């Protein structure tokens, strides 16, 4: 009884979907279908080793190191691999940079090609048919739906990922971040900002 109460307290902050996942995981483990250690290793891989944190480190380094930024422009695959971020669906990388005059966003119109080593698993909306079609036909409106409102003078370029090439957006560095460390800058970079459907966070938003 005490153990049950303890578990309830630990999981009280979880959403309904997360609670269902935990319950399903418990059943599978109980029946011996899955190994808890294997699940932990998989979660760690996608949360720490393969995921948006990796891409954020690439962006932060590009913001602070001009030499690395040039290397990214010339050979993104090699530059990203130099930080240890390699793997399937990350073999042929290209970076595109947002500026005050141009905003980039990424889509895969055929399926859901996505740079797993630097962004982790693709969000559900990235794989949806509405996003895949509307991002190309009306990118400005799609961005507005994500809360990104750009000046009419800003050009929007949409890049179509394929089995051969995958893209990583380098968002604009927020103002007021001079002197911040790479680690602190990486905290401002979100998965969506590296797809182009969001902007990097402002420092004050992290306080």
Asked if residues 58 and 85 have their Cβ atoms less than 8 Å apart, the reply is yes
Handedness of CA 195, 66, 50, 175 (dihedral sign): negative
111 classed as catalytic: yes
Q: How far is CA 113 from CA 80, 200, 205, in A?
A: 18, 23, 31
Please tell me which residue in 113, 161, 193, 198 is annotated as part of the active site.
113
The catalytic residue among 108, 161, 193, 198 is 108
- 5 C-beta neighbours (distance < 10 Å), count: 9
- Whether 82 is catalytic: no
Q: Of 26, 111, 133, 181, which one is the catalytic site residue?
A: 111
DSSP letter for each residue of 114-178? --HHHH-SPPHHHHSHHHHHHHHH-HHHHHHHTT----TTSEEEEEE--SS-EEEEEPPPPTT-T
Secondary structure class of 6 (helix, strand, coil): helix
If you ran DSSP here, which 8-state letter would residue 197 be given? Answer: S
Active site residues: 108, 111-113
């Amino acid at each position: 009884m005490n153990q049950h109460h303890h578990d309830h307290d630990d999981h009280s902050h979880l959403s309904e979907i997360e609670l269902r996942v935990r319950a399903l995981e418990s059943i599978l483990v109980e029946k011996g279908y899955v190994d808890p250690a294997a699940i932990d290793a998989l979660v760690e891989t996608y949360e720490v080793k393969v995921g948006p944190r990796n891409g954020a480190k690439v962006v932060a380094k590009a913001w602070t190191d001009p030499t690395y930024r040039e290397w990214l422009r010339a050979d993104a695959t090699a530059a990203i691999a130099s930080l240890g971020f390699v793997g399937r669906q990350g073999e042929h990388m290209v970076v595109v940079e947002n500026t005050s005059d141009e905003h980039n966003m990424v889509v895969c119109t055929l399926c859901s090609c996505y740079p797993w080593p630097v962004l982790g698993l693709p969000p559900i909306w990235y794989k949806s048919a509405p996003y895949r079609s509307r991002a190309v036909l009306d990118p400005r409106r799609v961005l507005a739906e994500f809360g990104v409102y750009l000046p009419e003078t800003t050009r929007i370029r949409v890049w179509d990922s394929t089995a051969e090439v995958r893209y990583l957006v380098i968002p604009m560095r927020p103002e007021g971040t001079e002197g911040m460390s790479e680690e602190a800058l990486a905290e401002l970079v979100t998965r969506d900002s590296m797809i182009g459907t969001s902007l990097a966070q402002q420092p004050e938003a992290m306080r």
